[in-house]
Amino acid sequence: MSVTDVSILFSYTRSYFQVDLEAVSDAVVYLKTLLPHKTEGELFTVLGRAKQGKTDRFRNLLQHQEKYNEQFIHAPGEKGLVMIVFTLPTHDIVIKIIRDKFAPPKSVSRNDVMARYKQVFEHDRAGRLADAQEFQYLKFDRNHFEASLLEELTSEAREAILIESDNIIFKHCYIERRLTPLNLFLQTADQTAAKKAVYDYGQAIRDLALSNIFPGDLLLKNFGVSVRGRVIFYDYDELCMVTDCNFRDLPSASTEEEELHPDAWFYVAENDIFPEQFISFLGFNEELCQLFMHWHKEILTAAYWRNLQARHRLGEVLDVVPYHHYPF
C-alpha cells in the first residue's frame, strides 16, 4: 500500500470513522507516521472527533494568515450563483458563504442549500464528496480581505455577515479543502494527466451513483482535482438522490418541425433527467470527449440509471471500491 492508497481511506472525501478509542491522540500519532502530510485536525476529524478537528482547522487558518500576512481573495474558478467562495493564496482551504439571493436559473432557497450540505455530511461520501465543515460566528479583521471580495460580501451576503468596527463576522459559513476546478485543470494539464482526470471524472459519477447520489449539475466546474489527482464533487446546491430522479430516454422527433424546435417540444417534469444530453454540456475537446465515451458511455443512458434505481429501492448495498486502476 502507498501513501496515496492510505490517504484515500483517511480522506476528507469519506465518511468519518466512528471509532471508540480510549485515547484518540494515540491513533492520531500513529496515523501521522503513515500520513505525515495530513494535519492533526484532519486526522481527529476523520476519526469522528469533528469539534476537535474544526478547532484545529480554524486555529491553523489564523496562524497561516498571521505568518504570511495574506488577504483573502476570490477562489479560482467561475463565479458561483449560490455561494461566494474565497481563500488565502497559499492555504489549502476555501470558505463558502451563501448569497442572499440566487440569480436565475437557480430556484433553490437558502434552507434548501443548507439541507443538501447536511445531507452530504450525514450520507456515505464514497470518496467523492468533499467534507464541508459548518462554522458559525467566525471573526476576522476586515483588512484581511481584498477590496473586491469585501465589496461582494457586504453587498450580496448581508444575511450571513456582521460588521463590527474593524471586524467582519461570518454568522454562518462552510470550510472545505481547496481543489483545482476540473475545467481549469484540463486547460493546463498534459495529455496523461488530462486522460486520468477525464477517466476519474466518469468514475466519480459512477461512485456517487452507487451511493445513491446524483450530482444534479455535471458541469466540469463543479468538480475539482485533488493534489493527488483524484476528482471530487463539491457543488451541492442541486444534489439529490438517484432514487428521487426520473431518468428518461430522449424522445425521437416525429416531424422536421419538432427536430428544429429550439426548446423541448415534449413535456419535461421538474425531476426529469435525460442522460443522453449530458455530453453536450461538458465542454470536453474532441479527443477527451471520445475517451470519455469509450470509458463511460453507459452513464449517458437512462437504462444505466434506472438499473441502479431498482437496486437501491430493493435495499441492495452497492460496494464503492476506493481504489481504481486506470485502463491505460
Give the integer Cα–Cα distance in Å for 149 and 151: 5
Annotated catalytic residue, options 92, 100, 131, 207: 131
Tell which residue, 304, 294, 286, has the closest CA to residue 328: 294
The distance in angstroms from the start CA to the end CA of the chain is 21
C-alpha grid cell for residue 226?
A: 485533488
**Peptide bond before 36: cis, by omega within 30 degrees of 0?**
no
CA distances (Å), origin 25, targets 45, 48, 52, 224, 316: 12, 12, 11, 31, 36
Spell out the residues 6+ positions from residue 169 whose beta carbon is closer than 8 angstroms to its own.
137, 138, 139, 140, 161, 162, 163
Give the integer Cα–Cα distance in Å for 3 and 37: 10
Cβ distance 39 to 28 under 8 Å? no
- Active-site annotation holds for 131: yes
Residue 311 CB-density burial (10 A; 0-12 exposed, 13-18 middle, 19+ buried): middle
Give the integer Cα–Cα distance in Å for 60 and 189: 30
CA distances (Å), origin 45, targets 36, 55, 65: 16, 10, 22
Which residues have a catalytic role annotated? 131
